[in-house]
Structures are given as C-alpha cells and as structure tokens.
Structure 1
Amino acid sequence: MTWYLILLIVISAILVALVLIDITISLLTYHVMRQKAQQSERAYEKIKKDLGIVTDSEIEFLVHPDRFGEMLSACFAHNGFPRYRIVLLFLRLKAVIRLYKKEKILQTGAAAGALTTAGELAAEIGNIRNGVTTKPVVKTDVAFAGLQVVRLYMMGYSKKQAFAAPRFDSALRVDNALNGSFYKYQCADGRYFSAHVYYESQKAKLMKALGIETKPAEFNLDSLKGDKKVVAAAIKNYKAEDLEKLAFDCGACGCVLRTHEEWKATDFGQAVCAMPLIRTAKVGDSPKKNYGPCGSDLPLKGIKVLDLTHIIAGPACSRILAEYGADVLLVRRGKFLEQEQAMLELDGWAGKNSIQLDFNVPEQLELCKKLIKEADVVTYSYQNGALDHFGLSREAIHELNPNIIYGSLMCFSDSVWKDKPGWAPLAEDVTGLSIRNGSLKKPKNLNGVPLDYIPGFMLAIGVLNAIKSNLLHGGAYNVTGSLTRTAEWLHEVSDDEEKKVPFQTKSRIIRASLPLFEEATVAVKDTVVGPLLYPTPATVVIGLPSSVPAMAFQDGRTGFKK
C-alpha cells in the first residue's frame, strides 16, 4: 500500500509539474507575442504613412497562448521528404521557436502590418464595387503572421504523392555549398562573401568561374561536407569585392557581407535608399474600370492577373491577390512536376491556375500577348530586362494594354545595379541585416525568408492601392518594389522600435481567436499535385468569405476563367 501511495504521489507530482510547465510556456510565449503585437501596430502605421495610404477601418491584432502549441504540432505533421525527414523537422522546429524569441530585426510585426494593410485595401475595393461605406473590420493573428515568413518549411503533403520526389530532388540541389542562406566564406582580405545561386545554370557558372571541377549535378546536399572545403579554399584566393564582381560578371550572383553603414555608403545602396518603399506612378489616363459588384464574394472576384513571376517574392504578391479572389493565371514553362525549383515554388502556386508557355515558340508568345490584352494586372519578378527581347518589356506591355496595372519587383534600384540579379538572402547580406542580426564575425540571416515574403506583401499593397485608385479615378499604373528597399525599411522600423519612437494608432491588441486560427495549417484539396497543407492565413476581414477555397490551383489552362 505504501508503494502504491508513493507511486501515486510521484505520478501526481509529474502531472502537476507538466501542467505548471505548460502554463509557464503559455505565459512566456503569450508575453513575447504581445510585444510583437505592439511592433505590428508600429509597422502597420509606418506602412500607411510611408505609402500615403488613407483608410478608415477597425484593426485588431490578435494574440492567443494556444498558437505556440498549434505550430509545434504542425512541425511534426505531413513531413513529405522521403529522405532527410529529420532535417526538415529540425528546420521547422527551429523556425517556430525563433518566432517566439526577441527579434533584432522586426519581421513578425512587419509581416503582420503588411498583411493587415493588404486586407484593409482589399475590403475597401469590395466596398467601392458594392457601393457601400461599411467600415472594414480586419483581424490579424500576430503569431500566424510570423508563420507566413517561414511558410516555406511548413507546407505539408504525403510522401506518396508524385510531387514529393521532384520537390525533394529540388531541395537536394538548392542546399549545396554555394547556398549563401546557410554558408558564408571568408575571403583573402578577411571579409565575408556569400554566393546565391538557386538555379542550376547559375551554380554551374559560378563553379566554373571559381575553378571548381566537380560536376554541378553532383554538387548538392549529399556531397556538402567535402564541397564546403573546396569552396572555402577557392574563395580564399579572392578579395571580397573582386569576388562579388566575378559572381555578377559570370552570370551568377553573390555579394560582400556589408554593415548597414557600408551599404549606405555605396552608390547602389544610396540609389536604393533614395527610392520610396513602393513607387507608384500613374502612366495613363485610362477610364475607371467597371468590374461590377462583387456582392458577398471575395472583393477581387473577376479581376484578371497575369503572373510573370517565379520562386518566392513575386509569387507572394500574386498569391495575396488570389486569396482575395483575383483570377490569377501563372505563366510557366513545363509541367508542375518538372519545375527545377519545386522546393522553393510550391508556396507561390497557391490560388493560381497556370498555363504552360514557351516564348521561343511564336504561337505561344502571341498567346501571352493576347492574355496581356485581357488582363487587368500584370505582375513581374524576373531579372530586369529578361523578357524585353520577346517584346514583353514594361513599356511594350503598356502598349499592348494601355489600361494595365504593372507591378514589378527587383532586387536593387531602378537605376544603379538595376540589371543585376538578386535573391532575398543576398538582400539581407548586402544591406547589413545579416550582420545586424548576428555580428561582424558571425552574420546570421533572418528567420525564414522574410525578404521574399515581406517585399511580396508590400508589392501586393501597392497593386491593391492602384486597383482602388483606378476604381475611384481611373488611370494605368506602374507599381515598383525592391527587395533591398524593403530591407532598408526593416532597418528603419527596427531603429524606431529600438529608440521607442512614439507613434499613434487606433488599432487594438486583443487576446482572442477565430475559428480559422484553431490550426496552424489549412487543407487545400483541389490542386494539380494532390491534397496540400498550407500555413493558415493570418488575416481575416470580417464579413468576407474564407480565402482557403481560393487557394486551390490547376495546371494546363489555356486562358483566364470564363
């Protein structure tokens, strides 16, 4: 009897301890996320001020202690990697845990502010179309807003799906020794360099320029340990700025890791800093569009978007438009299962039907031009000038369709370095974010890829604002965003937070939840690659239907929806 009582007491003590641990974790995570909710308010107000956006909405930033547990559970679910499952699990757990740590660079708040602004503008577009003046009520879950910038790791699917193998093969190729997101190398002058070659063609060019004799196809995650030594030895032969020039000159991509002050002292940094966060220019006096009422449907219903984007940042913009009901047609070469960067692109497919076009085939190029004439919006994120020789420059697209809204993302400015390629991790490294987030000796990239997603969200805000302007005043518009300009904006809003610069807001922080936020992922069944789990959208506009059904997508289309 004595042993029974002792065992009962021990078990009870363990249960009490577990409950206390759970309560402590809930309190700590809630406290951290409430601080990030205040940062969300700051970011939201700064976005509206910097972009000159005037709105009248009820804004609520939601915080709830259950989110941490929901996200941890999602880390263990639907891990579709046939090998290296533990690697993906580690990346997921690391990303979620970092969401609940203090951020030197505001990214959760920045994402929440941007998504809230996008939702607010979408709701106003719906009001204009329906001829009503109802004040929009926009609710953003702060933790799930943070999840949006790490969503690359969080998507789920069965390893039995046909898509699982191509996506895993893509991951093997991407995570090589020249992946600057993870690996920085010291040069002959002691400064650090990061390569950013996420296409096989770029990787092959840089390997050749560095004199690395390994076959590019064999230079991947499986050979990583030895490859890192080879790369480190090759890079030691160069000064950092010479290597940066070599990388761009050979057709690849890489940069010197700079401090923020060093970045602002360069001519290309100064050109970026001189740009507005989003540049919107009215380029024609076309009449107001009449899309008709959207009724109780999503506010962008019937608005046609031709999507000429790739990888993450550009598709993040058009995905937001799709989630609010736009008819987004994604132009791609080849089938979904044949995409070279399936690892990086899966997230950007949500909500978009796709059409396969090869612009080298005259008939297919003409079909693209026909679609441009039908579209209301074109989004573009390839390297500047990449499609000019096909007659698809920005100016040519406006000639094809004088009523178009043209939204584009670049890495740098639209003057100095405008033709250079770039990626989100490079934008972190070159602007000083990586050093600020870590140190001079141990630079550290941000959590997930916020300089893909946040610039994409910012461009979506610009496009939505242009749609609103057209409905009210008419006109065609160019909307231009930049990865590095958004990086500079993150420096600015983080500086404001560090200095506790006062700001005014009418938004509210509330401890609350909504039915959509009960799980960290949502199921999207109607897709060309089979059932998928996507991270739960962070923003809900009260009165609008759920955006989850709008995340479905199919392939092999011949045009927009009828």
Structure 2
Amino acid sequence: MTPELALKHIWTLAGCDPSALRSVTLTGADPGLPSVYRVGTLASASIAATGLAAAEYHRLRTGRRQHVTVAMRRALASFRSERYLRINDGPPPALRDPVMGFYETRDGRWIQLHTNFPHHLQGVLNVLGCANGRDAVAAAIRGWDGATLDQTLADAGLCAALIRTPDEWAALDQAKAIAGLPLFEIERIGDAPTESPGQRGADRPLAGVRVLDLSRIIAGPVAGRALAQHGAQVLMINGPHLPNIAPLVIDNGRGKRSALVDLREAQGREVLRGLAGAADVFLQAYRPGALAARGFGPEELARMRPGIVYVSVSAYGHEGPWAQRRGFDSLVQSASGIAFTERQAAGWNEPKHLPCQALDHATGYLAAFGAMAALARRATEGGSWHVRVSLAQTGRWLQSFGQIPEGWKAPEVALDDVRDCLASVESEFGRVLGVQPAEVLDETPAFFALPPSRVGAHEARWE
C-alpha cells in the first residue's frame, strides 16, 4: 500500500470528486519510524485527505482549486505531536500513569492496563485488591489467568486489553463486526435545505463554520484541532467533573476556545442545546449511546438543528459485543494483534506498541475529513449527516497495508530531528512549542489562530 493508494481509498469511499486527487503531492516512504507497520502511509494519507477536503470546501466557496502537499516526515511529526510538545523549553511532558503498561499473567499471557485517569486506576486496584505501584500490581496479576482478568476488568467498566495474536482477534465476534464495516461512514440522517459554504471572500476554507468539540484525550480533539487549523470556530465543551491529561489539553487545544458545561444538570443541557442549534458540526467521542441518553444523539440533533453534521468517534466501533467497551489507542493495538506483531518482529520479551498513537491520530484526521466531506454534501444536496469512525476500524485498515519485515530497525526520530516542523506560541501555560500542521495548501495555509487555553477558560457561547 502506498500513500497515494491509501488517499485514493479514503477519497473514493467518501464519494468525493476524483479529479481533485490530481491536486495532491505526497512525498516520502515508509518506514519513517521504527515499526513493521506502514505508519507513514497512514499518516500521509489521512492528513492529505483532510487538507484536500479543506481545499475542496474552499473551492466550493471561491471556484478556485489549490494544490496540497504532504511530506511523510511532517505527517509523522503530527502523529507524535504530544511527544514533541514542550513548555518553556522544559522536559517532555508526563503522559502516562506509572501503573499503565504490560503485565504477565499466571497462564503466561500478557495484559495491558490503561490507568491514566484516577478513577480507572482506583478501579483496577480495587479489582486486584492491591496497593498502588507497579510491583504490587504485577504480583497481583500473576494470580490471574489473562482472559479471566481481561473480561473481569471489562465487566467493571475499566480499561485493559489481553494481548492477542491477529488470528485470535480475527476469531472474536467484535473483529467480525468490524470486518463488516467500511473504514468510515458518512450517512444522511435527515432532510434539510442546502447551506452555502460560507463567506465568498473568506481567506480560510472553514471560516464561518462552527464546531462543538465534545471530546478528550487524542482522537476526537485531533479532529477538532484539524478543523480549527483550516479556520473553523471550534468550541471545546468539557464537563466540570471529567478528568483530563494536561499536556493533551495543551497540544490538542491549539486553535480552540474551551468552556465548561455540566450535562448532568438541566441548565447545562439547555446551554448545549442552544449551542448546538447554531452549530455546523457536533463532534463527540463518548461511548456509543452515552450522549443519546442525555438527549444529544444524532437523530435528536438532526431534529434540533436540521443540517447538522454529527461526528461520532469510538474505540471499538458502533456494532458488535464490544461497542460499549471503554478503549484507547494502545488498548486497541493490544487487543487486535498489533502489539503482538511488533513484539514478534523485534524479538522483544514483552509486547510492543507502535512508535506513536497512530490509531488515535489517523482516526482524528478521518473524523475531520468526514466532517468536511459531509459539509460539502450539505452545501450541494442539503441534509443532516452522521459521520462514524473508530480506532478499531482504523487499526484494521492499517493492518491491511501489509508489513515491512525490517521496519522496526528504522532509526528513532528525536525532537531535534523535527525542529523544522515545530513552532512556538505564547499562552497562559507559558511558551508552547508544538508541531505545526503537516498539510501545505498553496493558497490557504493551515495554522492555529488561537493559543491553547485551560479547560473552561471561555464562556459557553459562539463568538
């Protein structure tokens, strides 16, 4: 699989104009990072699709087509943006709780725990009946069989994954459900009149587009960030009780404003209904059905705001027995055979993840791409739309690219190797050094108009 073929797949699946593909140049080849998987192809294609969709939406407004260029090394820097983030020239930010990681079980299997949120960590410690610390957790896990612990933690609503081979994963009902789905879906869910793509004189592709971003951590926030870097007005909505990871708030908050709304209260739900009524895109990354229970499912939004583009990001997809299972990028890698394959290729003693959160980032860019493709459809044929993406569907697609046998031997890419991909901005956190957008549009450059801000820094209203 080449980046060009992967981009063509995305573009064709969305029903976009094939002639636009002549306006894209992709450079670089895998392996760009130490991995047997074609992570660079995934990065280049998903980011190029986002850039090209922005260019095409701008063309709808102006009649002018522009060229899009993506260099693989820049795309891979974007896929590692949280790793290269620096505040006031300080050390790399801490992104993981010490207990998070791989553990060997009684029956010789491996399991991965994800404990970055305090309530997830405490829940795991409660199930295991042990103290907080890697040694105590490792000793407790050696008293469990892998599959039993995996299911017990899932039943408790906690975050873990048994390390499976690709064949073990393929045999599961969840993998079969994913195999029956396309990479992403863009579905018409209601009738609405066409809506103009916005101000003809606007100098940015998404100027005038309003995006509500109800997501945290990486995949959903990357989608909102990608829309912001092409000019959308993005308002992040957090619950005051929900945990966040500070460096990710900074990295993925660039270009956005941030407000607090408590959906547990009637007043908060009323505020969100008001915001949604004037939004163009409603982006959410809660578990399937969670927002619908609060009255904010896709069908409700389409009735509330005809013409809405509703974007759903999930871990394991919206179908199958794991649809409600909590998950993160690294857990999907562990469950689906990616961590097993990387370990086997490199000859490691324990499982090995991809060299970046590739499923998160690619899914985020695909979500942003789907949103823009749906906005273009709204402009030409009307309707309300539902875009669905998942980490597991993205992971399955990456696995379908085939492998690079010695790819894991590729050199590591340090901060100094990507200095030309970074830029600094002053913010309330200090001087933030971050990765800049990888896609180059020759008429409307992608950039962040706003520095990152703390959670809840702004009022819950449109500018």
* Map of 1:315 onto structure 2: 221
Deviation at 1:528, TM superposition (A): 4.0
The residue number in structure 2 matching 1:557 is: 458
Select which of 112, 119, 144 maps to 1:201.
Answer: 119
Q: Which amino acid aligns with 2:366?
A: M
For residues 96-245 of structure 1, the aligned pairs below 5 Å read 100-101=32-33, 103-130=35-62, 132=63, 134-158=64-88, 171=94, 174-177=96-99, 179=100, 183-212=101-130, 214=131, 219=132, 227-245=133-151
| Partners of 1:475 and 1:388 in 2: CA distance | 20
Counterpart for residue 405 of structure 1 = 309
The corresponding residue for 2:25 is 60
CA apart distance, 1:45: 2.7
Seen in structure 2, the aligned counterparts of structure 1 residues 286 and 390 have a Cα distance that, compared at 3 Å, is: same
Count of matched residue pairs: 444
1:61 offset after TM fit, Å? Answer: 2.3
Q: Which residue of 1 aligns with 2:358?
A: 450
**Contact residue 32 and residue 76 of structure 2 kept, 8 A:** no
The answer to whether the Cα contact below 8 Å between 2:34 and 2:355 also exists between their aligned partners in 1 is no
Structure 1 length normalisation: TM-score? 0.74
**Structure 2 portions without partners, runs of 5+:** 406-417
Q: Which moved more, 1:116-125 or 1:43-52?
A: 43-52
The answer for the alignment partner of 1:68 in structure 2 is none
Q: Pick closer, same or farther for the CA change 1:46–1:312 going to 2, 3 Å.
A: same
Equivalent residue letter for 2:296: L
Q: Return the alpha-carbon distance in structure 1 between the equivalents of residues 457 and 134 of structure 2.
A: 40
Report the CA distance shift for 1:46/1:436 in structure 2 as closer, same or farther (over 3 A): farther
8 Å Cα contact 1:522-1:548 kept in structure 2: no
Q: CA separation in 2, counterparts of 1:312 and 1:117?
A: 19
Gap change, CA 1:341 and 1:125, over 3 Å in 2: same
Indicate the residue corresponding to 1:292 in structure 2. Answer: 198
1:388-403 alignment runs, 5 A limit = 388-403=292-307
Instruction: Give the aligned partner of residue 443 of structure 2.
Output: 543
- Structure 1 residues 412 and 44: alpha-carbon distance in aligned structure 2, compared to 1, 3 A threshold: same
SS at match of 1:547: coil
* Distance (whole Å) between structure 1 residues aligned to residue 127 and residue 243 of structure 2: 26
Cα deviations by residue, 1:120-166 (Å, 9 ceiling, x for unpaired): 11111011112x1x332001121110111111111122279xxx9xx
Counterpart contact for 1:120–1:138, Cα < 8 Å: yes
Cα contact 1:384–1:420 (8 A) shared by 2? no
Q: TM-score, normalised by structure 2?
A: 0.89
- Residue 330 of structure 1: how far off its partner (Å): 0.4
Unpaired runs of 5+ residues, structure 1, are 1-37, 65-97, 220-226, 499-516
Deviates most, 278-287 or 232-241: 232-241
The one-character-per-residue Cα deviations of 1:76-130 (angstroms, maximum 9, x if unpaired) are xxxxxxxxxxxxxxxxxxxxxx974553111122111111111111111011112
- The CA distance in 1 between the partners of 2:106 and 2:419, in whole Å, is 52
1:254 to 130, 136, 160: 160
Task: Write the distance in 2 (CA, Å) between the matches of 1:234 and 1:200.
Answer: 19
Residue 198 (structure 1) shift:
2.1
Change (3 A) 1:553 1:39: farther
Deviation of the 1:234 alpha carbon: 1.1
Find the partner of 1:488 among 392, 396, 402: 396
Distance 1:539 1:286 in 2: 32
Is residue 48 from structure 1 mapped to residue 11 from structure 2 by the alignment?
A: yes
Say which of 425, 450, 468 aligns to 2:330. Answer: 425
1:532 aligned to 2:432? Answer: yes
Instruction: Look up the equivalent residue of 2:384 and give its one-letter code.
Output: A
Conserved? CA contact 2:228–2:448, under 8 Å: no
Distance 1:490 1:195 in 2: 23
Q: State the Cα RMSD in Å.
A: 2.6
Distance in 2 between residues matched to 1:53 and 1:429, nearest whole Å: 34
Contact 2:48 2:69 in 1 (8 A): yes
Secondary structure of 1:255's counterpart equals strand
Q: Is the 8 A contact 1:323 1:550 kept in 2?
A: no
Aligned-partner residue type, residue 6 of structure 2:
A
For residue 332 of structure 1, what is the amino acid of its counterpart?
N
Amino acid at match of 2:42: A
Distance in structure 2 (CA, Å) of the matches to 1:327 and 1:456: 17
Query: Does residue 460 of the first structure (1) align with residue 368 of the second (2)?
Result: yes
Paired with 1:314 and 1:437, the residues of 2 have a C-alpha distance of 26
Matches of 1:199 and 1:552, distance apart in 2: 21
State the shift of 1:333 in Å. Answer: 3.3
C-alpha distance in structure 2 between counterparts of 1:294 and 1:59, whole Å: 23
- The partner residue of 1:345 within 239, 249, 264 is 249
Distance 1:257 1:552, change over 3 A: closer
Mark the CA change 1:372 to 1:256 in structure 2 (over 3 Å): closer, same or farther: same
- Where 1:493 maps in the other structure, the secondary structure is coil
- Change in Cα spacing, 1:546 to 1:52, as seen in structure 2 (3 Å) is closer
Letter in 2 for 1:232: A
Is 314-323 or 147-156 further displaced after alignment?
147-156
Q: Post-superposition shift, 1:205? A: 0.7
Distance 2:210 2:448 in 1: 19
Contact 1:333/1:357, CA 8 A, preserved across alignment: yes
The offset of 1:349, in angstroms, is 0.8
Q: Quick check: 2:46–2:366 contact (8 Å CA) kept in 1?
A: yes
Deviations 1:481-505 (A, max 9, x none): 010110000011235x78xxxxxxx
Q: Is the 8 A contact 1:351 1:551 kept in 2?
A: yes
Work out whether residues 329 and 352 of structure 1, in 8 Å CA contact, stay in contact via their aligned partners in 2.
yes
Deviation string for 1:40-79 (max 9, x for gaps)? 2343233334444334242122459xxxxxxxxxxxxxxx
Q: Comparing both structures, which one devotes a greater share of its residues to helix?
A: 1
- Correspondent of 2:289 among 368, 374, 385: 385
For residue 114 of structure 2, what is the amino acid of its counterpart?
A: H
User: What is the Cα deviation at residue 272 of structure 1?
Assistant: 1.1
Q: How far did residue 423 of structure 1 move?
A: 0.4
Q: Deviations over 1:405-445 (max 9, x none)?
A: 10011111212111111000001011111111221853210
**Could you tell me whether the CA contact under 8 Å between 1:277 and 1:489 is conserved in 2?**
yes
